[in-house]
Amino acid sequence: MVFASLSFIFLLLPLFLAVDFFVRRAKSEISRNTGLLFASLIFYTWGEAANVFLLLVLGIVNYAAGNYLSKSKNPRSWVAVFVAVNLAVLVGFKYAYWLTSFILPTLASKKASMPLGISFFTFHAISYLIDVYRRQVAPAKNTFDFLTYFCMFPHLVAGPIVRYAQVKDDLSARGPNKELFTFGMYRFLLGLNKKVIIANSVAIMADSAFSLSALGNLHFFDAWLGITAYAIQIYFDFSGYSDMAIGLAAMAGFHFAENFRRPYSSTSIREFWRRWHISLSSWLRDYLYIPLGGSGGGTAYRNLLIVFSLCGLWHGADITFILWGLWHGLFLVFERLPAGRMLERVPVVLSRSYTLIVVLVGWVFFRAENISLARAYLKNMFTVSSAPSVLTYHVMACVALAVGFVLCLLPDRFFPAPTSHKAESFPASAYGLQTLFAVLSIALLLTGGRNPFIYFDF
């Protein structure tokens, strides 16, 4: 189920708020956690009924594993075993068909079915086990606390990747907080509007461009406009979903960290990854890059390429995702070389243009269904042809693209600092404006238009 759907907004969200209000009166965090767990299982069962048992089994197994690690005299060996079990489940569901297709090519055209959100809740489990092993966090006090964290529906199927250490205090003590609830409503409305009004509107332009490219009939101008539309789509799609997740968590009394900080305003790829999908990039840094040796010992370049190859593979079982990760990894290596450090001395407009071009080219690999289509699209982007422009421009898509482009590229000073979950961080007029836009969003959903969510595929 997508947060930006009528069934969630008018059915599950009211149910969740009603259950949370009722159990909050019991003044028991176990009761409130149980209520949230109940709502989360309904949310997951709605679209993944067959896999809810896998989710619960993995939750119970990892809870038991965390307790065992905290008492084990040989935790290093056991943490490797428990992490391997989680990775085996992920590989089995997400990558087995792709790996097998190299032996049996007839499988290559078949899309594997996998549990919704498995990439995210696997990373949740691994971070929990490693943090317990490192003695950075004590294991969950009881099964309900851990299952509430593990199955919590705001972050369950598409992130952000939330570490147990970030929410353990909220799990044990989160009383009624009107300010936090108000903040949560605002962030949910903001995310809904970003997703429906901007991301959904520009999706048709991006889809048309890639379809025409596959037919060999795409103009140079259309190619750049199409990949720009996709860049706007994926950002407002995923950051909008993260906003809704942060908002829903706040309504339930949790403080989720920010997951995006306007990444297209970055002046380097290094900065881009400090602003894009922050929970993933920080996870890869803490649980993969640093254990590999980080930037020390002369292995920084190798480690970056390994990490970003795996980052690409995490997003999808296809060579195009690996190439997307390697593309970013190569530019991160370049920026650490003397020539790359010159970016710090060039005018901001040049460094931002460089970053945008690198990111846009990378999105071609991310969006294309295979290497051949990616190669064809890149050829259209960098070959000026005399073919006529045939891309259809819808008014709503053009307006959404222009608004999204401006919002992405305006300097940070035009936007408030991160809210820190405080209602007074945004004026009442902003709340009213998002409410009005939410009416438009719901009206657009009622028309039955396309409402895709890109990261559900990963």
Which residues are known catalytic residues?
Answer: 315
Structure tokens at 231: 């860049």
Instruction: Judge contact between 319 and 374, C-beta under 8 A.
Output: no
Alpha carbon distance 237, 208 (integer Å): 18
Residue 379 CB neighbour total at 10 angstroms: 15
Closest residue by Cα to residue 304 from 284, 277, 282, 323: 284
- Dihedral angle over CA of 268, 273, 278, 283, nearest 10: -150
User: Measured between alpha carbons, how far is residue 288 from residues 90, 124, 128, 303, 305 in Å?
Assistant: 17, 14, 14, 9, 12
* Tokens, residue 315: 């997003």
Task: Give the DSSP H/E element, type plus range, for residue 328.
Answer: helix 319-334
Q: How far apart are CA 194 and CA 267, in angstroms?
A: 24
Residue 134: CB atoms within 10 A of its CB come to 12
Q: Which of 185, 161, 175, 153 is nearest to 39 (CA)?
A: 153
Asked whether the beta carbons of 79 and 130 are under 8 A apart, the reply is: yes
Q: How far apart are CA 8 and CA 102, in angstroms?
A: 40
